[in-house]
Every structure is written in C-alpha cells, then in structure tokens.
Amino acid sequence: MTPAVSFQKVSRHFGSIRAVDAVDLDIVPGEFFAMLGPSGSGKTTCLRLIAGFEQPTAGSIAIFGERAEGVPPYRRNVNTVFQDYALFPHLNVLDNVAYGLMVKRVGKAERHKAAEEALSLVRLPGYGARRPGQLSGGQRQRVALARALVNQPKVLLLDEPLGALDLKLRENMQEELKSLQKALGITFVFVTHDQGEALSMADRVAVFNDGRIMQIGTPEDIYQRPSTRFVADFVGSSNVLPPDFVQRHAGQRRWASLRPEAIRVGRAANGEGVAARLVSSNYLGATTRLALDADGLKLHAVVPAGAALPAEGEAVLLTFNREHLHLMDEAV
Amino acid sequence: MRSDRGQRAPLGLKIAAACGLLFLHLPILLIFVYAFTTEEKSFVWPPPGLTTQWFAVTWNRPDVWEALSLSVRVAAISTTIALVLGTLCAAAVSRTKFFGRETISLLVILPIALPGIITGIALRSAFSLADIPFSFWTIVLGHATFCVVVVYNNAVARFRRTSGSMIEASMDLGADGFQTFRHIMLPNIATALLAGGMLAFALSFDEVIVTTFTAGQQQTVPIWMLEELIRPRQRPVTNVVAMVVVLVTLLPILFAYYLTRDGDQIAGSGK
C-alpha cells in the first residue's frame, strides 16, 4: 500500500541548526499519527515540510506516492489547522470556511452550502454570519477545523491545535477529533508536546528529539517499551535505571526503564527488595506520587490514593516484578 | 481620590485652552475673510467692504487652473508611485529577514527626517549631473521620495500586526500568491494604505522646498501662491484659492479619519 506520507532521509537545516535530521517516516493512509516531542525537537518542521511551507535540504518526501519537493502549498492536497487558528478577521465564519473553495472558483451557492455542511460537522451550525472575533477559543478552533475539512484533504495536519484550550475543553476536543477522524477516514497528522494527548488519541506515535525520530510505535509500545532513555523519560516519566542497577536485578548490563506505577512501596526495613528513603510525596487526586532515594538513585513511584503512606524521610523497601523492568536498546 | 469625568475644569484652564485654539485657527479665519475684501493691493483690517467678485475673477484666471491642475497631477502620481513602492518595501522588510534589513528601513525613512532643503539640493545636483531637464517628472520624483516614507510607515505598522500564519493559511487553502494578496493581504492593509495615501497626497500638495529645487518653469499651487504674494495685483485671489484648497484637502482627511478610526483591531491574532 502507498503510504499517505513518506519521508526518506529528509533533512531540513537552518544554517548550522539541524531542525530535521535524516528522518525516515511512513504514515499509513487513514491513521491518526502523532508527532510528539519537546519544543525545538523538529516535529513542527516535519509538519511544515508536509504542508509545503518548508522545503527539505536533503532527502525526498512523497504524499500518496507523488513527489512533494518543489510543489507549493497551494498545489498540495493537504490542509493545516494552525496553532493560532489563523482565521481571516475580515471575513465572516462562512466565508472563512468557504475560502478554499472560493479560490478554486467554486460557485457561491455551492461553496456556501459546503461550508454550512462543514460547520455542522464541527457542531457549529448557524454560526456562519459571525466574525472570528466574536467566537470563543474553542469555537475558533472548530472553525479552523471546518475550514480545512471543507477542501476534503487527503491528509489533515494539526499543529498543536488544542494547546490554547483549557483542560475540560481539551478533553472534549480530543474525543471529538478522534471520532471525526474515524468517521471521515482522513489521515490525521497531529503535532503535540503533550504525551498524554498523543497516547490517548493516536494510532501511532513518533517521538522526536533533536531533529531525529527516537521511536515510532503504537502508544502502548512507546509507553511500555521505550527504546531509549529519552523516550522513557519524556513519555510518561518512567524511571530510567542505570546499567549497574539493572545488572544487579536483571542480570544484564543494559539501560532499563521501570514505570512508576510498577513499583510497590513497602514499609519493611529489611527483606527482598531495594532499600530506599522517601524524599517527598505529591498528592495528585486519584494517585499519590512519591519521590524516593535508593542509595543515590532517584526514583518515582505512583501509588493509588488511600494507601497507607510512609512518613517523609522514612526508610522503605521497593519491590517490582521482573517483567515490568524493560530493557532498552540504547547502547551502554 | 478619584478623577471624576463630570468634574469641571478650572476657569483659568478653559481660558488658556480657548486662547491656544484661537491662536492656531484665527489666522485661517482671517484668510477666509480677506477672500471677500474689496481692497486688492494690501490686506487692511478691518476690510473696507465685502464682495464676492474675487470668486469670479479666480475662476477666469488660467494661471490658477494651471497651478491647480499641476499640483493635483503631481500629487496623484507621486502618491500612486509611493503606494506601490512603499507597500512592496514594507512587505519585504516586515515579512522576511535579510542582510541589511535595518539599514534599508532607515534609508527609506531618511528623506522625511532630512530637511527638505537637503533633499532638494541633492536631487537638483543629481538631475543636472545626469543631464535630466527639469519637468513635470522631476517634480514627481522629488515628491515621491517623501511620499514613499509616509506610505511605508503606515504599511509597515499594519504588516507587523498581521499574523504571518494568515498568509500561510491562505496558501494552504489553495490560494496562490496573487490570490493571497488580493483576498487576504489587501483587505487587511487597505485602511492603512488609504490613510498613508491621503497623507502623502496632502504632503505633496503643499510641498514648497523640494518643489522649488526640482521644478523648471512650472508652478504648483504653493509656488504660485508665493509668487502672487510678491506682486500686488488682485491679492484676494490668493485667498480664494487658499480657501478652496483648505476645503478640498480637509474633506478627504476627515473621510480617512472616520474610515480608519474603528478599523484598528489587530488582524489575524488567533487568541
């Protein structure tokens, strides 16, 4: 099957800065693909390379099998939902949504009908006569989505679209985007720095760091089986265990990750396990996060709320199942 | 303590303000009054008598029409040149980063910061060095140097407040460069260009110094007025022309003011 988007050794350098460095990537048609990474990791540049706002310094990009280098943004069957929405302030909502059809010279009646349909799709029917300035942040986001979808793109690019929304709205939009993507069957490429968002929405996640992809996989892969220390730390803040520690407990001299919720914290002063001292505890509602110090190694554990907690500074004994200890590929 | 909006200003302050305004505007009113005087050789206060004959006299003087027509044509063409060049320059400076950007920005603004006499002498010596005869076009060129600045300043301020992602959004939605300019950029900078254009037109219309250096035998309205004041013949004609010029330039400026007054929302800020 032809990939929706295919990167082959794609680099984008700005002077001496390697924003994107020899990235290989295949996005499957119809999948919800997330690009996850800290700011400056190259994920947004990758998105802009797909949209056509940037041209690769080296390598080749194909969109549904067609070479994309040198093709301007307006000749690509790809649309973008911008981080700041970029609605046109001098046009009303309906004309904003119909803009893509207007510049393709679709008749007025036809493009307004299509725009109305797109507004219904994002649950904003009847908002056409308003100005972007009269809408709330969440509504603007929906208009930006409708404006992109009305063009029936083959790939929809979303650049941190939920970043400016408050928590409750963000959770609603996450579900809505997901079901919209399922219903339309369009390939979504979603850029985010929020690992929770990437894990909950995407079919597959690419984790970026320093212009390179550290790992591509399903959310479960990324979360349970991180391949590098960076991924383990960035995606859900796993404990990264040094080779010496791992050799003692797993018999292999490798870096390993251990999820905080896989650690059991006991009060026994001696016995089988890792002796540690409780440094502090953070109450998070459903869970409590404990900061621990195991002979100089800083660890985090997450325990369910309501469990009896040791006092700060108290000695504790940590235990975990060997199968939860994930050995990473990264060389020692 | 609170500053009360309804609180009355002290009487002294009111009188001072009234005096200030009178000082500014009374001379203009005097010009209007002298347009109706019966005394034609010198300005005598109070006017010995009132008449409207000078309007007819002015109407029938070909030199008035020539000067007026020249001024309008010069102002219109310099403004048009300024609109095109100023917008292009503003777009380049605000939309891209390149070597020497700040220098270019400064050099564009320089003609309005320099005294007109410097610009005038510089242009005059450049024209004679290049053997360009003084003509309508040398006046236009001289005026365009400072008209560009006005348009550039207005346009650059508006470009700065226009979100760059709006242009990308337009391209992303299938609009090529021309369509993006036509449907997105132009509506967003239109009021700024209108205001800049009006101001440029007004500046060109009453320019004296640069014009004296770049004009040959032609007379624009301000030059014609200066000449008229020297020879005492049908003096009130100058006042009639001044009155018409005030009315004609005031109306577009008021119009531009009302047009741009509430159009100042920041274009394309998403949040």
Is A53 within 8 Å of chain B by CB?
A: yes
Q: Per-residue pLDDT tens for B186-210?
A: 888 888 898 889 888 888 888 888 8
Residue B255 CA to residue B271 CA, distance in Å, equals 32
pLDDT tens for residues A208-237?
999 999 999 999 989 888 888 899 888 867
Band (A58; pLDDT cuts 50, 70, 90) = very high
Residues of B in contact with A102 (CB under 8 A): 183
pLDDT average, residue stretch B241-245? 86
- Name all domains of chain B by residue range, CATH numbers in brackets: 61-261 (1.10.3720.10)
CA distance B3 to B9: 11
CATH number of A5-233: 3.40.50.300
Give yes or no for a cis peptide into B46 (omega within 30° of 0). Answer: yes
DSSP B234-248: STHHHHHHHHHHHHH
- Nearest-angstrom CA–CA distance, A195 and A173: 16
pLDDT of residue B116: 84
Burial of A71 (0-12, 13-18, 19+ CB in 10 A): middle
Flag whether residue A166 sits within 8 Å of chain B, measured between CB atoms: no
Cβ–Cβ gap B176/A72 under 8 Å: yes
CA distance A181 to A190: 11
Angle between helices B221-230 and B236-261 (to 10 degrees): 150
Nearest to B271 among A89, A100, A164 (CB): A164
Identify all chain B residues contacting A78, using CB atoms and an 8 Å cutoff: 172
Cβ of residue A88 closer than 8 Å to a chain B Cβ = yes
Of A78, A88, A102, the CB nearest to B166: A88
What is d(CA A202, CA A189) in angstroms, rounded to the nearest whole number? 9
Of B168, B176, B270, the CB nearest to A87: B270
Q: For residue range A142-155, list pLDDT tens digits in order.
A: 999 999 999 999 99
* Band (B259; pLDDT cuts 50, 70, 90): low
What ipTM score was computed for the predicted complex, to two decimals?
0.82
Whether residue A158 lies within 8 A of chain B, CB to CB, comes out as: no
Beta strand pairing call for A212-217 and A274-283: unpaired
Tokens 């709320």, residue located: A305
DSSP string spanning chain B? Answer: ----TTPPPPHHHHHHHHHHHHHHHHHHHHHHHHTTBS--SS--SS-S-B-SHHHHHHHT-HHHHHHHHHHHHHHHHHHHHHHHHHHHHHHHHHH---TTHHHHHHHHHHHHHS-HHHHHHHHHHHHHHTTPPP-HHHHHHHHHHHHHHHHHHHHHHHHHTS-HHHHHHHHHTT--HHHHIIIIIHHHHHHHHHHHHHHHHHHHHT--HHHHHH-SS---HHHHHHHHHHS-SSTHHHHHHHHHHHHHHHHHHHHHHHHHHT--SPTT---
How far off is chain A from B85, nearest CA to CA, in Å?
Answer: 25
Average pLDDT over chain A reads 89
Cα atoms in the Cβ-side hemisphere of radius 13 Å centred on B34: 21
How far is the alpha carbon of A189 from chain B, nearest alpha carbon, in Å? Answer: 15
Per-residue pLDDT band at B6 (split at 50, 70, 90): low
Say if residues A94 and A46 touch (Cβ distance below 8 Å): no
Asked if A150 and A114 touch (Cβ cutoff 8 Å), the reply is yes
Q: How far is A73 from chain B (nearest CA, A)?
A: 5
CA–CA dist A139, A157 (Å, integer) = 18
Contact at CB, A89 and B265, closer than 8 angstroms = yes
Chain A nearest-CA distance from B271, in A, is: 7
Q: Name the percent of chain B lying above pLDDT 70.
A: 92
Distance, in Å, from the CA atom of B211 to the CA atom of B70, rounded to the nearest integer, reads: 12
- For residue B126, is pLDDT > 80? yes
Q: What is the pLDDT of residue B263?
A: 47
Q: Where does chain A have alpha helices with state H?
A: 43-51, 93-103, 108-121, 137-149, 167-184, 195-201, 219-224, 229-234, 243-250
In CATH terms, A237-327 corresponds, of 3.40.50.150, 3.90.550.10, 1.25.40.10, 2.40.50.140, to 2.40.50.140
Using alpha carbons, select from A211, A259, A252, A253 the residue that is nearest to residue A233.
Answer: A259
Per-residue model confidence as pLDDT tens digits over A239-254: 888 888 888 887 888 8
Q: Tell me: pLDDT of A130 over 50.
A: yes
Residue A269, pLDDT score = 63
Nearest CA distance, B180 vs chain A (angstrom) = 9
Q: Where are the domains of chain A?
A: 5-233, 237-327
Chains A, B: CB contacts within 8 A come to: 84
Does any CB of chain B come closer than 8 Å to the CB of residue A64? no
Instruction: State the number of CA atoms in the 13 A half-sphere of A275 facing the CB.
Output: 5
The mean pLDDT value for A79-104 works out to: 93
Side chain identity at residue A98, one-letter code: A
Report pLDDT digits (tens) over B157-167. Answer: 888 887 778 99
The answer to whether B174 contacts A151, with C-beta atoms less than 8 Å apart, is yes
pLDDT tens track for B104-120: 888 888 888 888 888 88
* Res B60 pLDDT > 90: no
Helix B62-95 to helix B186-205 angle, to the nearest 10 degrees?
Answer: 140
Of B163, B175, B188, the CB nearest to A84: B163
Q: Do A90 and B187 touch (CB under 8 A)?
A: yes
